[in-house]
Amino acid sequence: MKKPAPSAARTAANAPHEVRIIGGLWKRTRLPVADRPGLRPTPSRVRETLFNWLGQDLSGWRCIDAFAGTGALGLEAASRGAVDVTLVEQDSALLGNLGRVVTQLKAQGVRVERGDGVAALRQRSGQGLDVVFLDPPFGDGQNETLYLAALAAARQAVREDGLIYLEAPRVWGEDELAQMGLQIHRQGRAGAVAFHLLRPLSAQ
């Protein structure tokens, strides 16, 4: 049997078995974390920072969590009032978990959609979403093409003053983001995770 790469083995060993929704209607609700390759839930302290940036009340917001995994980002938004949240995932085991959680929460404004995150974003071009959550698999830093495609598609899916959350293994610079019509609104770093809140360049 082929042994996993050291970085993958460390990720699996250190991965939590569950994460919790931090705030809102479903505060402290547990979300299962399946043992799946590449699954790396957004750390609680990063989510807390992100939702401090976004605001505690997201009433009426329309969102998509394009690489949902545990659903922590999209469900956190729904817990804080977002009325239309789509969780996109292509892994069957993760889809099953998402469906069970949404049913348990009776989350009527949350849809679970099987599919590719980039394709789902492209289908929503021009829909004027309030926020797009992008947390693709890191792929040991070899996923640049996926990140570029996801960012380009997200830029077309958000409204002109909307927001895109990007989680990545490296910091994305202003110049490369500007080429895609995006600018940095906020950014931070927590261990190996770089996180960014981006806006369309046309937004003031």
Residue 139 lies in a domain: yes
- Per-residue pLDDT tens digits of the chain, which is 204 residues long: 433 333 333 343 444 578 889 999 999 898 878 776 666 678 888 999 999 999 889 999 999 999 999 999 999 999 999 999 999 999 998 999 999 999 999 999 999 999 999 999 999 999 999 999 999 987 755 688 999 999 999 999 999 999 999 999 999 999 999 999 999 999 999 988 899 999 999 755
- What are the angstrom distances between the C-alpha of 168 and each of 107, 130, 203? 28, 21, 23
Which pair of structure tokens corresponds to residue 96? 């099953």
What's the rounded Cα separation, in Å, for the pair 24 and 85?
15
What domain range includes position 51? 6-200
In a domain, 193, yes or no: yes
CATH number reported for the structural domain that contains residue 17 in this entry: 3.40.50.150
Is position 1 within any domain? Answer: no
Residue 23 lies in a domain: yes
pTM over 0.75: yes
CA distance 68 to 184: 22
The domain tally of the chain equals 1
* Cα 184 from Cα 107, distance rounded (Å): 32
How far apart CA 145 and CA 193 sit, in angstroms, is 18
Nearest to 15 by CA among 138, 100, 143: 138
Assess if residue 36 is contained within a domain. yes
